[in-house]
Amino acid sequence: MMLAQCRIIEFPKIQDRRGNLTFIEENRHVPFEIKRVYYLYDVPGGESRGGHAHKQLQQVLIAVSGSFDVVLDDGFSREKITLNRPWQGLYIPQMVWREIENFSSGAVCLVLASEFYDEEDYYRNYANFLRAARGT
């Protein structure tokens, strides 16, 4: 099941009296070549994002500021993970439906992606995703 492949990745965290610094190196801290970076911010209270799955795309989501919940669903089971630590990332492989909700005020979701943006890579319809995920 794809849900078993979702995991929290801990990035290096350098602390000194001036504050903290975290860095991410391609192929060292994330298990793919980073082709794209985007971020979600200024999300109004009560709004949610996502509501889709990807055929090929792998991603790492990071709460660089604030917090939000990520609901993951591989067509067989569901899990909710709260992200609120800037030195942690959530790895999501292909074929996992995700919904991102409960954004705190000022939250920023930074995303590292394995592919360029391609609308053809999306399942935006849950029934179609379920059929593909379950092979029915």
Per DSSP bridges, beta strands 59-65 and 49-54 are unpaired
Contact between 64 and ligand T46 by CB under 6 A: the answer reads no
Amino acid at 15: Q
Residue 99 φ/ψ, nearest 5 degrees: -130, 135
Measured in Å, how far apart are the chain's first and last C-alpha atoms? 15
| Binding test (CB under 6 A) with ligand T46, winner from 34, 64, 71, 111 | 111
Q: Judged by CB under 6 A, which of 5, 29, 32, 40 binds ligand T46?
A: 40
Least Å from the CB of residue 13 to ligand T46: 23
Of 24, 98, 107, 114, the residue at the interface with ligand T46 (CB under 6 A) is 98
Query: Among 117, 125, 128, 134, which residue sits at the site for ligand T46 (rule: CB under 6 A)?
Result: 117
2 binds ligand T46 (CB under 6 A): no
* Length of the chain (residues): 136
- Per DSSP, which regions of the chain are E strands? 7-10, 13-16, 19-22, 36-40, 49-54, 59-65, 68-73, 78-83, 88-92, 97-101, 108-113, 122-123
Q: Catalytic pick from 29, 49, 52, 85? A: 52
Task: Please say if 52 is a catalytic residue.
Answer: yes
List residues near ligand T46 by CB under 6 A: 36, 38, 40, 49-50, 59, 61, 98, 100, 111, 117
Q: Any idea which residues carry the catalytic annotation?
A: 52
